[in-house]
Structure 1
Amino acid sequence: MHIGILTGGGDVPGLNACIRSVTLSALDLSWEVTGFRRGWQGFLSVDPDNVQSVADHTRRLDREAVRGIDRMGGTILHTSRTDPRTTKDGDRTDHVLHVLKSLGIDAMITLGGDGTLRFSAHLASLGFPVISVPKTMDNDVYGTDYCIGFSTAVSRSVEAINALRTTTESHERIAVVELFGRRSGETALLAGFLAQVDRTVIAEVTADLDVLLPLLVADRKSRPTNYAVCVISEGARLSSDDGKSGGDISKSATQRDDIGVGQRLAREIEARTGQGTVVQELAYLMRAGEPDAMDRMVGFAFGGLAIQLLQQGKSGRMVALRDGNYCHVPAETLLQSQKSVDVSALYDAQNYRAKLMRVEGMPMFLY
């Protein structure tokens, strides 16, 4: 069998561990593995009749090619944010199928977030064998409790938040730390809880500044060191926005006209309370560098499970973690809903803090 593999969307730590696992598991079965560079965008650039084009946009994966890559962050295959159905030239699904047939690819394993895996589900609906592997540091792919990259992003965030305390305390200010999380505030919620910050604002709940700001001022005054820390999701909304600011979260930071929500919150704090602020957007540092132990473990496991499913003749599936157990669900499951924080169970919206209503019987990450 000839397996194709690609990574799409934003990079996260743990992708290389999964690529290594897929490759070694396939090679143990005497299967061939071809990596497609730059996600679906690279795929669209392949001209099967041009040897150089194929060489430029694909990479043969063998034991030497994946040696030691599990210790590296990012993805050796590189990545892009592309859906072949929505290019400037229209729907290019036919080209994808042509490339697959011409190169003799029997099945695809796709590592990506919501966007990448939507096209994977589309391919599966057309009858082409696909196994989807969810990855995103926002942990917002519906159908799985865990996505590759989430644990490392939380770990990076906690480390940065705690490091920022020294500067914030030295200047006796209120720190505002903005974390990635466009649609889901789960990364901010868990990072804020583990770092034990004063307040956390998530994407699912609009922040009422008449409530939040007095809480932060009181937090600062409550400790002799005169500082406070607030974490906020990039997709959060402020009551002061009034629908006229906040920018288009679907765009990258360099493409937005408006300033980020962390900066907006800091401006409101200074204008309304007179307190100085420290603003830090962690952004890409959240997903930079090598994976932690959790993301290596899940990357290895997801990769191995993907090959095992193909070996069993199963396709059109997405590997997943549910209630702490590895499993798989139909590839189209992610199309059924949008994953977000269970506010009633996990968040105190009046006090802008994580809450643990109960722990017994809950999975490790309290989903």
Structure 2
Amino acid sequence: MRIGILTGGGDVPGLNACIRSVVLSALDRQWDVVGFRRGWQGFLEIDPADPNSVATHTIALDREAVRGIDRVGGTMLHTSRTDPRTVKGGDRTAHVLDVLDKLGIDAMITLGGDGTLRFSAHLSAQGFPVISIPKTMDNDVFGTDYCIGFSTAITRSVTAINALRTTAESHERIAVVELFGRRSGETALLSGFLAQVDRTVISEVPIDPDRLIPLLVEDRLSRPGRYAMCVISEGATIAGAEVAADDRSLSNTQRQAEAIGGRLARAIEEKTGQGTIVQQLAYLMRAGEPDALDRMVGFAFGAMAIQMIGSGETGRMLALRDGNYCDVPIDTLLSGTKTVDVAGLYDPETYRPKLIHIRGMPMFLY
């Protein structure tokens, strides 16, 4: 058996732990593992008839190649945000299938977020054996309660938010901390709750400045240190304001629209004269080594993927539901959108998380 593996989309801590687990589990079965570099983009650059092309974009993964990588963040296979169906020149699904055939790959394991896994589902629909593994620090892949990278992103965010309190208090300002979370505000929700900030703004609920800003001013004046902390999702919007073109898929240097954290801070200063601090945690949320939970989930998902291929179960996406490891049809993510349960977990009037009916809920309060 010859297994292929790739990582796509944004990097997150825990990917390398999963890659190592896949490789060691496969080796125990005397299977070979081929790593494809740079996600689906790497596939498109392979000419199966050119040995140099194959060598540039693939790597044989043995025990030595994955030694110690679980302790390191990011992905040793590198990554890209590419869907072979939408590249310049048209749909290149046939090329991907040809590469798999010419390189003798019997099954693929793909680690990615919504974009990477959508093509994985498409590839599976063409009849090729695929197991997909959800990863994204936004935790917004539909069909699973948990994605690799989410716990570390929360841990990083809480640490940074609490560290920023000393500067906010020293200058007696209102701090606005912007976190990644384009469609789902779950990262902000949990980070804000665990850091016990004053107000948390999520992607699902538009900001009413006339309600939020007075609350933040009151929060600041209510404590001896004369500061307040607000966490906001990058996907949040201001009610009634013109919605800027969504250019968050572009690199920072190519974006034209002002980030929502800066827009909120400017509104605070204009309406109150109160100084602010704006901090985008951005890539720091996904940088560095994985925490214990992301290592654990990465190891478990990797071993599970090999076990399922061994039993002939493909066309599946691995998942965590209600605290249990399981699997769902690989195209499950196409059937819905994962967002915060506002009614159950958030109070839009006070811009604060709310926790009710805790008994019987899984650890991450879904």
Bin for the TM-score computed over the shorter chain: over 0.9
Q: Within 5 A, what are the aligned runs for 1:70-219?
A: 70-219=70-219
2:303 pairs with 1:304:
yes
Instruction: Please tell me the residue identity of whatever aligns with 2:285.
Output: M
CA distance in 2, matches of 1:98, 1:246: 38
User: What residue in structure 1 maps to residue 337 of structure 2?
Assistant: 338
CA distance in 2, matches of 1:240, 1:340: 22
Shift of 1:249: 3.2
CA distance in 1, matches of 2:240, 2:24: 53
User: What residue in structure 2 maps to residue 274 of structure 1?
Assistant: 273
CA distance in 2, matches of 1:54, 1:141: 31
Instruction: Please tell me the residue identity of whatever aligns with 1:42.
Output: G
Q: Is the 8 A contact 1:135 1:148 kept in 2?
A: yes
Number of matched pairs: 366
Q: Within 5 A, what are the aligned runs for 1:28-107?
A: 28-107=28-107
Q: Where does structure 2 lack aligned partners over 5 or more consecutive residues?
A: none
CA distance in 2, matches of 1:84, 1:185: 29
Instruction: Please tell me the residue identity of whatever aligns with 1:223.
Output: R
CA distance in 1, matches of 2:241, 2:191: 25
Query: Equivalent residue of 1:86, what SS?
Result: coil
CA distance in 2, matches of 1:278, 1:86: 40
CA distance in 1, matches of 2:63, 2:5: 15
TM norm structure 2:
0.99
User: What residue in structure 2 maps to residue 326 of structure 1?
Assistant: 325
User: What residue in structure 1 maps to residue 7 of structure 2?
Assistant: 7
CA distance in 2, matches of 1:286, 1:122: 30
Identity of aligned residues (%): 74
CA distance in 2, matches of 1:61, 1:50: 20
Shift of 1:356: 0.4
CA distance in 2, matches of 1:309, 1:8: 21
Instruction: Please tell me the residue identity of whatever aligns with 2:260.
Output: V
CA distance in 2, matches of 1:255, 1:240: 26
Please identify runs of 4+ aligned residues in structure 1 that moved more than 4 A. Answer: none
CA distance in 1, matches of 2:253, 2:205: 25
2:247 pairs with 1:248:
yes
Instruction: Please tell me the residue identity of whatever aligns with 1:234.
Output: E
Shift of 1:18: 0.2
Q: Is the 8 A contact 1:247 1:257 kept in 2?
A: no
Instruction: Please tell me the residue identity of whatever aligns with 2:364.
Output: F
2:211 pairs with 1:222:
no
Shift of 1:255: 2.2
Shift of 1:238: 1.0
Q: Is the 8 A contact 1:172 1:225 kept in 2?
A: yes
CA distance in 1, matches of 2:300, 2:139: 17
Instruction: Please tell me the residue identity of whatever aligns with 1:251.
Output: L
Shift of 1:239: 2.2
Q: Within 5 A, what are the aligned runs for 1:18-37?
A: 18-37=18-37
CA distance in 1, matches of 2:251, 2:292: 29
Query: Equivalent residue of 1:259, what SS?
Result: coil
Instruction: Please tell me the residue identity of whatever aligns with 1:293.
Output: A
User: What residue in structure 1 maps to residue 316 of structure 2?
Assistant: 317
CA distance in 2, matches of 1:64, 1:237: 48
Q: Is the 8 A contact 1:246 1:260 kept in 2?
A: no
TM norm structure 1:
0.99
Shift of 1:241: 2.3
Alpha-carbon RMSD = 0.8
Q: Where does structure 1 lack aligned partners over 5 or more consecutive residues?
A: none
Instruction: Please tell me the residue identity of whatever aligns with 2:332.
Output: T
Shift of 1:240: 5.3
CA offsets per residue over residues 175-194 of structure 1, 9 Å max, x none?
00000000000000000000
Q: Within 5 A, what are the aligned runs for 1:257-296?
A: 257-296=256-295
Shift of 1:246: 6.3
| Distance change in 2, residues 1:266/1:240 (3 Å) | farther
Shift of 1:224: 0.8
CA offsets per residue over residues 76-130 of structure 1, 9 Å max, x none?
0000000000010100000000000000000000000000000000011111000
Shift of 1:131: 0.1
CA distance in 2, matches of 1:253, 1:182: 15
CA offsets per residue over residues 266-286 of structure 1, 9 Å max, x none?
000000011100000000000
